[in-house]
Every structure is written in structure tokens, then in C-alpha cells.
């Protein structure tokens, strides 16, 4: 069965599919999510199956607003401040759940759950029409680059889900910031579009150095444990001073098997000749927006075995960009390689 692309005029039909226990991908301002009724354990299990996702990787629950969260979790005063300031928006908040309120299939067996109120009018209408919160991991095959267009979703999941609600290309392009509000000190578990500099004036001190977990530890948020965002080709991260080396490598060793992802001034600086290139735009904001689209575009070219991708400073949105790029590269920086 082929999956359907639902227009925004067909939200009622998409919502009925969700109520029937089927999967519908939905747009957010960050990436497309794979939606299922968060209160239907059978439907949630279908999400793991469709994605090929590890079962101990918890799911984010997407809600239409704060009132939806109260049915499932305890909202701390600091968490309420964040909701008041940044919802709807690219901020996922981890909270202690009410015992038994959510299936362990959603929480990964933890006593916490992650909640998000996305800044996308079509998806908010979908949640309200379905009358249930939606789990929503990225709507892609697990481990592959996240989808920022409906066609990315269809590439990975056509035939595995009921369909995708089409709202065009997403605005931000990297997933939401995940902040854990269940402990003594708020902790960023995944960097995203909202930075600590924006969050700390609202709630005070934030811990920012806990982005990974051990092999036997259950992650509280997606992207902390398993390899993510990876195309078939090996990605190498390139610093500003290393483009001469890249130019030599693609002109000799990797001649017609490599691709370059960089901002426009880097692409304009060298004659890349027959090398495949992908523009990340003009700056780090553009790069974050275009990163997943670039990885997916290059992944569709079977000749490409190596991708050289531009490094940015881990400041502002650069931290989220580098978090995703380092995971897609398996932490492989060109400066550490003997190529």
C-alpha cells in the first residue's frame, strides 16, 4: 500500500487515521515527525517497527499546549516558565510522569517523558482534531538524516505508514532543544535552535555537558546513544584551514567518489570541476537549515563514497549544527585522518 500525502485541507482524514491506530508523519518548524496516538501502545509500537528504532530510545510526546501535558506529567514551576516563554516552539521539556499515565513503550521504561508543543499550525490542528497527543520521532529510517521535506519522509517510509501531512519545507532544519527539568539542575540533553543563552535568563543555571549516555544506560532523549543522521557515505568534518587539503584529495584520491558540503564562499573559492557540491548557504543559520537536506541529497548519489562537510564554531546554532554533523560523521574530523 502506498502512503498518502495529505494536504492541509485533509487534516480530518489524517486525524482519523491516527485515531484508528495508524501512523501519519507531520510537519514541525524543525523536522518532520512520525506521528502515532501516544495513548495507544499498539500504535506506538508500529513507530519503532516502521523506523527500525531501538526500543530503549524514548519518544517525544507532541501536544497542543500545556493543558495536554497536565494529563500525563507534573509541571514544575521552572518548566511552566519555559512553556510560557518558548511554547509553541523548538523546545522539548522532560518532566516526571504521573505513574501509569504513559506506556513504557513511550518512555523507554523511565519515570520521565519528553513533551513538545510544536510551532506549526497544521500539526496543532491535527493534534486537536485527533484529540490525542502524538509521539513524534523524526519521520525517517532510524540512523539516517532527519527529514525536512515531505518527499524525504516518503523516500524512507512510503508503504510503511498511512501518509504524511504536507506543509512544505521545515523552517529550522535541526531538531528541538531537549532540556531535562526532572532533576535538581536543568540539563540540556540535546542542543537545538534554542540556546542556553536564551533559556538561562528565564530559569537560571543550566548544565550543558550531558549529550551522551553509556552502552547500558537508557537515554532520556533521542540522539544521545545511537548513531544518527548518517548517510551511506563516510562524512569528514573540515575546518576552515583544511580546504586546500580537501581540494587536493577530491582532485586525486577521491576524484569522482566525493562530494563537498560548504557555504557559498568556500564553494566559490576553489574550482571544484567535476566534484559534486552542495551549498549550505551563506552562514551557520543557513547551514543548520540545509544540513539534513544536503546529506539526503548526496546520499541519493550512489557514486559518492566520501562527503567533506564544513565545520562551524560551537556557538549559538553552531552547537546544534555540530552536534548533528559529528554524529553523522561518527566524530571523524579530517584533521585526525591519514587520508
Identify the pLDDT of residue 339: 83
User: 189, 221 in Cβ contact below 8 A?
Assistant: yes
**Does residue 57 sit in the same domain as residue 117?**
yes
Q: Please check if 53 is assigned to a binding site.
A: yes
Identify the pLDDT of residue 152: 97
Pairing of strands 234-238, 258-262: unpaired
213: in domain: no
Q: Please check if 57 is assigned to a binding site.
A: yes
- Say how many domains are in the chain: 2
Q: Please check if 28 is assigned to a binding site.
A: no
Residue 187: strand pairing partners: 180, 207
CA distance 162 to 195: 35
Helix axes 196-203, 77-86, angle to 10 degrees: 130
Q: Please check if 229 is assigned to a binding site.
A: yes
208: in domain: no
Q: Provide the CATH number for the domain around residue 253.
A: 3.40.50.11030
CA distance 33 to 26: 5
**Does residue 189 sit in the same domain as residue 269?**
no
Q: Please check if 210 is assigned to a binding site.
A: no
Q: Please check if 146 is assigned to a binding site.
A: yes
Q: Please check if 116 is assigned to a binding site.
A: yes
166: in domain: yes
Identify the pLDDT of residue 274: 83
Identify the pLDDT of residue 18: 98
Residue range of the domain that includes 8: 4-203
Residue 181 CA to its chain's centroid (Å): 20
Environment class of residue 197 by beta-carbon count within 10 Å: exposed (0-12), middle (13-18) or buried (19+)?
exposed
| pLDDT by 10-residue block (mean), the chain, 339 residues | 95 98 98 98 95 81 98 97 98 96 92 97 98 96 94 97 98 96 94 96 90 54 62 96 95 90 96 93 98 96 96 96 95 91
DSSP 69-120: HTTTB---HHHHHHHHHH-SSSEEEEEEBPTTSS-HHHHTT-SEEEEE--S-
Q: Please check if 275 is assigned to a binding site.
A: no
Identify the pLDDT of residue 7: 98
Tell me the whole-structure pTM to 2 decimals: 0.92
Q: Please check if 48 is assigned to a binding site.
A: no
**Does residue 165 sit in the same domain as residue 314?**
no
CA dihedral 276, 280, 281, 283 (to 10 degrees): -140
Amino acid at each position: 500500500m502506498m502512503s498518502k500525502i495529505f494536504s492541509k485541507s485533509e487534516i480530518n482524514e489524517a486525524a482519523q487515521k491516527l485515531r484508528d491506530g495508524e501512523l501519519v508523519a507531520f510537519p514541525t518548524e524543525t523536522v518532520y515527525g512520525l506521528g502515532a496516538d501516544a495513548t495507544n501502545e499498539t500504535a506506538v509500537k508500529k513507530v519503532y517497527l516502521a523506523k527500525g528504532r531501538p526500543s530503549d530510545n524514548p519518544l517525544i510526546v507532541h501536544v497542543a499546549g500545556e493543558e495536554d501535558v497536565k494529563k500525563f506529567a507534573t509541571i514544575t514551576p521552572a518548566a511552566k516558565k519555559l512553556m510560557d516563554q518558548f511554547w509553541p516552539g523548538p523546545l522539548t521539556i522532560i518532566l516526571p510522569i504521573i505513574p501509569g499515565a504513559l506506556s513504557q513503550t513511550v518512555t523507554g521504561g523511565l519515570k520521565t517523558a519528553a513533551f513538545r508543543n510544536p510551532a506549526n499550525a497544521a500539526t496543532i490542528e491535527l493534534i486537536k482534531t485527533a484529540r490525542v497527543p502524538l509521539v513524534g520521532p523524526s519521520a525517517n529510517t532510524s540512523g539516517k538524516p532527519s527529514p525536512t521535506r515531505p518527499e524525504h519522509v516518503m523516500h524512507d517510509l512510503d508503504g510503511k505508514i498511512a501518509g504524511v501531512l504536507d506543509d512544505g519545507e521545515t523552517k529550522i532544519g535541526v531538531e528541538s532543544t531537549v532540556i531535562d527539568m526532572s532533576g535538581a539542575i536543568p540539563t540540556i540533553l540535546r542542543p537545538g535552535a534554542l540556546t542556553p543563552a536564551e533559556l538561562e535568563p528565564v530559569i537560571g543555571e543550566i548544565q550543558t555537558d550531558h549529550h551522551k549516555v553509556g552502552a547500558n544506560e537508557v537515554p532520556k532523549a533521542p540522539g544521545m546513544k545511537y548513531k544518527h543522521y548518517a548517510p551511506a557515505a563516510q562524512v569528514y568534518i573540515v575546518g576552515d584551514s583544511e580546504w586546500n587539503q580537501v581540494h587536493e584529495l577530491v582532485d586525486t584520491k577521491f576524484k569522482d567518489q566525493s562530494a563537498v558540503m560548504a557555504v557559498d564562499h568556500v564553494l566559490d573559492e576553489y574550482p571544484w570541476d567535476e566534484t559534486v557540491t552542495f551549498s549550505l548557504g551563506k552562514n551557520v543559520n543557513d547551514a543548520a537549515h540545509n544540513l539534513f537536506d544536503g546529506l539526503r541529497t548526496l546520499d541519493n548519489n550512489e557514486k559518492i563514497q566520501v562527503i567533506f562537510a564544513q565545520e562551524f564554531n560551537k556557538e549559538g546554532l553552531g552547537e546544534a549544527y555540530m552536534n548533528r554533523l559529528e554524529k553523522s560523521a561518527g566524530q571523524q574530523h579530517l584533521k585526525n585522518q591519514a587520508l
